[in-house]
A and B are shown apart, each in its own frame.
Chain A
Amino acid sequence: MAYDKFDVLTSTAYPLPTENVDTDQIIPARFLKATERKDFDINFFRDWRYNADGTPKAEFPLNKEIYAGSKILVGGRNFGSGSSREHAAWSVYDFGLRCVISSEFADIFKNNCLNVGVLPVQVSAEFADTLFAAIMADAKSEIKVDLPNQTVTLVATGESESFVINMYKKNNMLNGFDDIDYLKNIEDEINDFAETRPF
């Protein structure tokens, strides 16, 4: 499914400093029963956002009005661990987020994000702490994520760090391209390779 191109994003951010946020929290298994991709924002962080009776948990950052409309989430270390469910990345995107910043991402979640148009930005633990401190002190603090230059900047102070992304994925994100188009384009080469496989 196509996603909007990503270039430079400047936005306030939701802070979620808890470490080891697993994809079962991002979207619990009982909400994986759809056969099409839509409305996964509804159950994004379901059990952390809502009480069992369906009322919102006021203290949870994603429910706080002061952060509403942010397009960036700053998460704790080892964000997105556990299950490979791409529904977790879909729910991030459907909630209106285009970028997750963390000092460490679980591999499968990171891949899934890149495949659905959410930019995972890995920063140092120190810079993550700087961002948390800033947005928790002032919810209006903006973060600028510049994909062409591969930098992430705390706008108010100018503190900045560069991040790593390979050229191929960067080009995909900048243009809204995806892997399937690339692979279909080298179909003959893949078919020739398949002939050589023993089983």
Chain B
Amino acid sequence: MANTLFDKVWDSHVVRKVKDGPDVFFIDRHFIHEVTSPVAFLGLENRGNSVVYPSRTFATADHNTPTINQHLPVSDPLSSNQLDALEKNAAKHGISHWGLGDVNNGIVHVVGPENGITLPGATIVCGDSHTSTHGAFGAIAFGIGTSEVEMVLSTQCIMQPKPKKMRINVTGKLGLGVTAKDVALYIIAKQTTSGATGYFVEYAGDVFEDMSMEGRMTVCNLSIEMGARGGMIAPDKKTYDYLKGRSQTPKGEDWEKAMKYWETLYTEEGAEFDVEFNYKASDIEPMITYGTNPGMGMGVTNSIPTAESIEGGVDTYRKSLGYMSFNEGDSMIGKEIDFVFLGSCTNGRIEDFRGFCSIVNGRQKAANVTAWLVPGSHKVVDQIKAEGLDKIITDAGFVLREPGCSACLAMNDDKIPAGKLSVSTSNRNFEGRQGPGSRTLLASPLVAAASAIKGVVTDPRTLLE
């Protein structure tokens, strides 16, 4: 029988199948951060267990870290306490730890791939729903809860029912100003915020084949925003070129051996999915969200749909628009904004900064906009400087901050004030996500850049021609 990529990777990690229950699922790589791991270590110690395979777990601090003055002590005592706990737990159990200030530090889903920890055919988990990012390399990667973090630490396995399979094909060529983020927001708008619940997604078609690894990571990252546990893309030459020579990828003979295995990782002709969707690249324009879940998105030049025209409850929809202070039928173009956030595990990579700079180059930030530009890692910062993008950023009136999750979830001081409107390259526009009372419009780095220059929601194509 023809096999899917997902089946190949999943089935090769099943230690045993529990009768009328989940699979005992082996985890190759486990990322931990300061927020969802402390209670897992506490549980581990209370039970008298130890970390069975410390070399399979990797710690980095990212969620609540400051993005300025990282050389100074963290002033918030609760955040500082969590960062200390991560460092102590890692040291105690022999786990590698990239704390604040470490050259390898950054957002967990940025530093994993850039250090070659993420590999095709691997299973990867982390107490963070955007772990789906790593699926860009042909890995099965998904977010878990803290109980499961403890399971992985103490047994290297979790107990997981196998999800159903969905394939999403996007074919054709993307138009001017249309990025991986727009492809993802388009798919999520079609699927709604829960359309892929219960599924694991494979993305296929020439749009993803043509996409850079950074773009693929952006797409897979957002899989969770339509309810999917994760998303993956078959590895190809781009994947191998990206990984080769990174600090933790296999070397020499091991690389050759790995390559032989990786080249078997594709969906065979005739393999079956539980459900399949086909979309056309030519239908996708730069996207923007207008509501309080990522499924409430549309082309940036469109108007907000009426409650009657959408799936789902009218009350929930109106409540959402009410929170945003928007009306059915409103155009998004021209709405005055207060903040722009470039960064996060969705859009905090070098390509995102290149895109942003392609628009702000030679222009000036609008006076009414406060902009936070937060690279995903120190390696991204170094690359920005190596390419001279930092000068473009500074000349245009922006400031480059230090790496971290930042205003994506506003656990540190980077909080959008109540009522303020933010164009954000992050992943969630939930109520209060960027700070209590904040209002978020999710968009690509190009839409964010164009809006930062004009001070209002702007179609980036008007600045690209």
A residues lining the B interface (CB < 8 Å): 1, 17-20, 22, 24-25, 28-30, 32-37, 47, 52, 76-78, 81-87, 89, 104-108, 111-112, 115-116, 166-169, 178-180, 182-184, 186-187, 189-191, 193-194, 197-199
Contact = CB atoms under 8 A, between A and B. Distances in A.
B319 A18 contact: yes
B250 to A, nearest CB: 6
B42 A37 contact: yes
Contacts of A85: 35-36, 127, 145
Interface stretch (B150-158, B347-355, B456-464): B150-158
Given A115-B145, A182-B159, A32 B293 contact: no
A47 B49 CA distance: 37
A28 B316 CA distance: 19
Given A18-B316, A108-B145, A81 B193 contact: yes
Contacts of B42: 35-37
Interface residues of B, number: 81
Given A77-B312, A85-B36, A86-B147, 19 more contacts: A1-B43, A1-B46, A20-B293, A20-B316, A22-B430, A33-B64, A33-B81, A34-B38, A47-B432, A84-B143, A86-B146, A104-B197, A167-B19, A179-B159, A183-B157, A189-B16, A190-B24, A193-B26, A199-B119
Interface centre among B145, B159, B224 (most CB of A within 10 A): B145
B204 interface: no
B161 interface: yes
Interface in B417-439: 418, 428, 430-433, 436-437
A31 to B, nearest CB: 10
Interface in B285-326: 293, 312-313, 315-316, 319
Nearest to A25: B431
A181 B157 CA distance: 12
B35 A32 contact: yes
A77 B194 contact: yes
A33 B36 contact: no
A19 B85 CA distance: 36
A33 B83 CA distance: 10
Nearest to B35: A32
B188 to A, nearest CB: 12
A194 B53 contact: yes
B147 A29 contact: no
A69 to B, nearest CB: 27
Which of A1, A105, A116 gathers the greatest number of chain B CB atoms within 10 Å? Answer: A1
B409 to A, nearest CB: 4
B82 A33 contact: yes
Contacts of B163: 107
A19 B410 CA distance: 24
